[in-house]
Amino acid sequence: MSPSSMANNPGPGDQDVPRFETFVPAQVGPLLNNGRLGVLGGAYNPITRAHLLLARYSRQQFKLDEIIFVLPKILPNKPLVGAAVEQRLEMMRLGISGISYISLGVCSHGLFLDICTALHQLYPQKPEIFFITGRDAAERILTWPYDDPAAALAKMFAGFQLLVFQRQGNFHLPKNPLVQKYANLIHTLEMEENLDKISSSEVRRRTSEGRPIGELVPRKVAVFIEKHSLYRDFPG
C-alpha cells in the first residue's frame, strides 16, 4: 500500500469503539494544548523512505508538533498479506530510528473517522488533527456517494483537516459546493521529490526479483527484510 491509501470508503466503520492496541510515543514529549498532530496511515508493508519524506515535509510546512504513523490492524480495503502486523510494526520502529517527532500506533480500525475517535483517547488535550493523504485518496473521501454528503463532510471536518500530496497527478479541489465549504481545511503539501516511484509495492516487487531496495527503504529496514526473508515469494 502506498503512504496515501487507507480506505476506499472513508465513512464511519464498525460500531465497536475504535482504539489503539499498540502505541509507541514520540520522543518529543506530550503534545501541549492547541498542538498540531499529523496522521499518516497505511499498510506499511513495509515502511518506505516516502513515508519519512511525507512526515518531514508535513511537519515543516504546517508546523506539526508530532506525527503518528498509524497501522490499521484490519485493513478496510484489502486483506492483510505479506509481513505480519508485528513485523510491520518492528520495521516501522526501525525506520523511524533517530526521528524524535514520529510516534507509532496499531489501530483496531482503519477508517479516518474511526482513527480520529481512537486518537482522542490517546491525546486528551485534543490537538488539531491533520490526516496526510494522497491525491487519489483525498478525491475519494471528498466525492464519495455518502447517504447524506453534507452530514458526512461536516462530521469529518469537525474532527480533522486534510494535507494532500500530489500522487499520480495533481490535486484539484472538487467544485461541489459542499466540498468548497471546507476549502480552508483542505491543504496541499508541496513536495520537492516525486514519490510515485517509491512505494511498498515496489519494495515487494524488487525483493521478489532479488533486486536491491536500499534506495526505497531505510537501511535497517532493508536488513530486517533480508534477515527474515520477507517478500521473496510475494507478488508485487
> Residue 13: which pLDDT band, with cuts at 50, 70 and 90?
very low
Distance of alpha carbon 144 from alpha carbon 153, whole angstroms:
10
Question: In whole angstroms, how far apart are CA 168 and each of 46, 141, 155, 213?
Answer: 20, 17, 28, 21
Cell digits for 147?
447517504
> Residue 168: which pLDDT band, with cuts at 50, 70 and 90?
confident
How many Cα neighbours within 13 Å face the side chain of 10?
27
pTM (2 d.p.): 0.90
> Residue 57: which pLDDT band, with cuts at 50, 70 and 90?
very high
For the residues 3-15, what does the mean pLDDT come to?
Answer: 42
- The per-residue pLDDT for 170 is 86
- The per-residue pLDDT for 12 is 42
pLDDT digits (tens, 9 = 90+) for 72-117: 988 656 666 789 999 999 999 999 999 999 999 999 999 999 999 9
Of 9 and 230, which is predicted with more confidence?
A: 230
β-strand partners of 69: 40, 104
Distance of alpha carbon 67 from alpha carbon 63, whole angstroms:
11
**Residue 188 phi/psi, 5° resolution?**
-100, 130
Domains annotated on the chain, with CATH: 20-196 (3.40.50.620)
β-strand partners of 22: 106
- The per-residue pLDDT for 184 is 98
> Residue 235: which pLDDT band, with cuts at 50, 70 and 90?
low
